[in-house]
Structure formats: C-alpha cells, structure tokens
Amino acid sequence: MRICIDSEIGKLEGVIIHTPGSELENMTPENAERALYSDILNLSVASKEYEQLAGVLKSVTQVFYVKDLLSDILKNDRVKHQLVKKICTKEDFVCNAEQLEKNSAASLTNLLIEGVVVEKNNLTNYLSNERFSMRPLHNLFFTRDAAMGMNDKMLIGKMANRVRERESVIMEAIFNNHPSFETSTLNPATPQTGIPGNIKSTIEGGDFLVARDDIFVIGTGVRTSTQGIDFIIENIKQLKSEPHHIIIQELPSTPESFIHLDMVFTLLDTNLCMVYEPIISKINQLRTIHIRIENRKVIKIEEVANIPTALKKLDMDLRSINCGGNNDPWIQEREQWHSGANFFAFAPGKVIGYERNVHTMDALNNNGFEVIKAIDVIEGKVLPADFEKCVITIAGSELARGGGGARCMTMPIRRAEVEW
C-alpha cells in the first residue's frame, strides 16, 4: 500500500489502530498523571466500546493493527536488534537489551507495549517504587499522535512527553521496515540534510490536519511547538516548489481537553467542519496565522481571523457546525470536554463520533447527517453507502474519559482523491 494522505475526508483505503490492552490496566492512581491520564479507565468497558470503532472501520476499509505490524517486523533479527537497541538507549530506566532480544517476536511485541516488570534482583530494584523497568504504553490506542500521513510521506511524531516517545520509535520502525507499506519517513528527532535539529521541536498527530493536498492546518500549544511546525515548513521548502499553505492555530494551555487541534476543529465534508465555537469562531486572544510557501521559500506570514476564514481565501468555503449546538455555552463546554468536536471521516460527509454528545449529534442531524448506531452498521442492518451524509455513533462512556475521540484513535495511511 502506497501511503497517500491528501485530505482529512477522502474515502478511507487503509488505517492503523491499536486495541487497548493490559497496558491500560498497568496503571495506578499514583502514576496516572505521569501517564497523561486524570483517571484510570475500566478496560473491560473500554474494550467493548473500542470494538464498535474497530467494527465500523473493518466494515468500510482495510484495517491494520499495531501489534500485528510490530510482530511482523520483529521477525527480522536485524530490525529487532536495531529497534531494541534504540529503545534501550533512549529510555533512562534499566533496559536489558540482550535479554529482551532473546524473546520471540510475539513476546517482545507484548513487552514493548505492555511493559517489562522490574526484577527484584538487587538492592536498588528491591527498594524501587517502580513496578516496571520499561513502562507500559498507556496511550498507544491513540494511534493518531505517533505518526501522520503528509501526502506520500509519514511524518513521525516528536512527542511532548517522554512517556510516549517509544510509540513514535515503534511506528517509525514499522513504516521503514514493513513490506506492506511504501513510503518514506520524516522525523523531527533525526537530523536531516539542510534542516538543523531543534531540541524544542515537538509535533503530535492530533495537531496536524491535511485540509487539502496543498494546505496543512496545524495547532500549536502544549503538545506541538512552533519549532516543530518550523520543521514541517523546512521540509515543504525542500520537497515542494509549487505553492503550499500552513494555517496555524494557537491553543490554550488549559484545560487538558484542548491538548490538540482536533479537539476543537475537525473536517467533515468538502464544505463542512466541526468547531468548538469559543476557540475557533469567537473573538479571543488566540492567534490564527497563515503561512504561504512558494518556490522553496516562505513568501508570506500574516495573522488571519480564524481557520474557516483562512481556508475560504484558499477556495475551501466551509460552513461550521458547532460542537454542543448553538444555544448553550455550558453544553458546548461539556461536550467538547468529551471529544465532541473530535470526528473521524471515512469518506466525504461520513464520520464517526461519540454517541454521548447528543447536542452535537442533533446539530449534525440538523445539517443533513443521518445518525446511525455503530452496532447497526457492524451487524449489516444499515449501510453507510446508502446515505449521502451520515454520522456513525460509537459508545464512549469510558473511552472518552481517556481524553480522545474517534480521530485520536485512528491513523489513516491512505485515502482516495476528493472531488472538490
């Protein structure tokens, strides 16, 4: 499969996901905050809800699982050695590379995701309060952040928090070594010819949206730095001579529901977007900036009113639908907190979101979207192809408490062209 992401809404032809597993249960109240959670999820409930997302995706596209892909590449001894060495070099805590390499591909996959328990074989380990010498990847089911399709490239995430760094290392190894994918990777953590490295460069997939093949919309805040966006600018200058545009949206540092741009803005159709009105549409102190790149140089940087206004000037005239509806700012705030603006499109006008955000669903329905339950799609009672526009609702009483929605839990790797 040749990687191709030229939009947020093109018909989905391939996606990577990760079913949450034991790594979620390997969390305690003491380490939950370090793991970037405000609470501990109930895995049995979260798993049933996640099955709805996976079931819908499998009914509309080709689905790849991180565990399967990682296990595949670990069957290659050279790849196994390089990956284990890189992980053990990057991570401060005790990591016995030789011992890890002795595991089979399947066993090593589980260890790299679910964590390696500390052996109480010396005084330091005996007295340590840490349970794991290699910590679990509690956030891996949010596959969006670790790598993102940028046209025919995969941009590897440079995570803002060290607890998530291994996710990016794993995904880079998969895209560089798995025979199922044809692509090349761009990594802010790896020095490139003509592009100086910057220790402050961070970028996560939740902040990176491909509006059109020549337009990228990027959020900057606690997870994606301006230096990370500069890395993208330099790559566009090197790779593209034709005009390209980057629209930057500043994000608040608090509350935690604003960690990524896709928590306040997502694309639904060729002419529709979902917005959290107080951040995107109303006057505030958060700046929106338009950068134009042409002939391998930045030719314009200017402040604009907001994302939809900037896109309209680039012939993308989007009508906004408000997360939480139009009438009550308290309802808007509540539904945004539970990923009410975080939708994942599997085709133009066909999206997936949490059913709990009832006012957002009503707003979508009022704008021509048929509201369909995931279970009806999975059981074949309803076909998304029968509708011009639809929103498939998945259960989210537990998953939403993890701090992300359908877009956060999906890493699209190929989409069809869009007829604009």
Q: How far apart are CA 396 and CA 376, in angstroms?
A: 16
Torsion over CA: 144, 342, 350, 290 (sign): negative
Instruction: Answer whether the bond into residue 20 is a cis peptide, omega within 30°.
Output: no
**CATH, domain range 12-415:** 3.75.10.10
Q: Looking at mean pLDDT, say which of 158-162, 195-199, 208-212 comes out highest.
A: 208-212
Integer-rounded Cα Rg, in Å, for the chain is 21
Q: Please state whether beta strands 411-415 and 153-156 pair in parallel, antiparallel, or not at all (unpaired).
A: unpaired
pLDDT at 38: 59
In this predicted model, what pLDDT tens digit does every residue of 55-98 receive, in sequence order? 999 999 999 999 999 999 999 999 999 999 999 988 866 678 88
Write phi, then psi, for 98 (nearest 5 degrees).
Answer: -60, -40
How far CA 70 is from CA of 65, 91, 179, 409, in Å, comes to: 9, 19, 12, 17
Q: Is the pLDDT of residue 35 over 70?
A: no
In this predicted model, what pLDDT tens digit does every residue of 92-131 receive, in sequence order? 666 788 899 999 999 999 999 999 988 888 888 788 788 8
How many CB atoms neighbour CB 213 within 10 A? 18
Question: Please, where are the H alpha helices in 320-395?
Answer: 329-337, 358-366, 374-378
In this predicted model, what pLDDT tens digit does every residue of 10-33 receive, in sequence order? 999 999 999 999 998 876 666 655
pLDDT at 118: 85
Q: In the chain, what percentage of residues exceed pLDDT 70?
A: 95
pLDDT at 197: 65
What does the mean pLDDT of the chain come to?
93
User: What letter represents residue 4's amino acid?
Assistant: C
Stretch 171-179: mean pLDDT:
98
How far CA 187 is from CA of 46, 195, 232, 233, 279, in Å, comes to: 32, 11, 10, 13, 30
How far CA 2 is from CA of 71, 146, 151, 167, 176, in Å, comes to: 21, 19, 10, 22, 13
* CB burial string 160-187: b at 16+ within 10 A, e below: beebbbbbbbbbbbbbbbbeebebebbb
Write phi, then psi, for 116 (nearest 5 degrees).
Answer: -115, 120
Q: How far apart are CA 7 and CA 295, in angstroms?
A: 22
pLDDT at 96: 83
pLDDT at 45: 93
In this predicted model, what pLDDT tens digit does every residue of 182-205 receive, in sequence order? 999 999 988 776 676 678 899 999
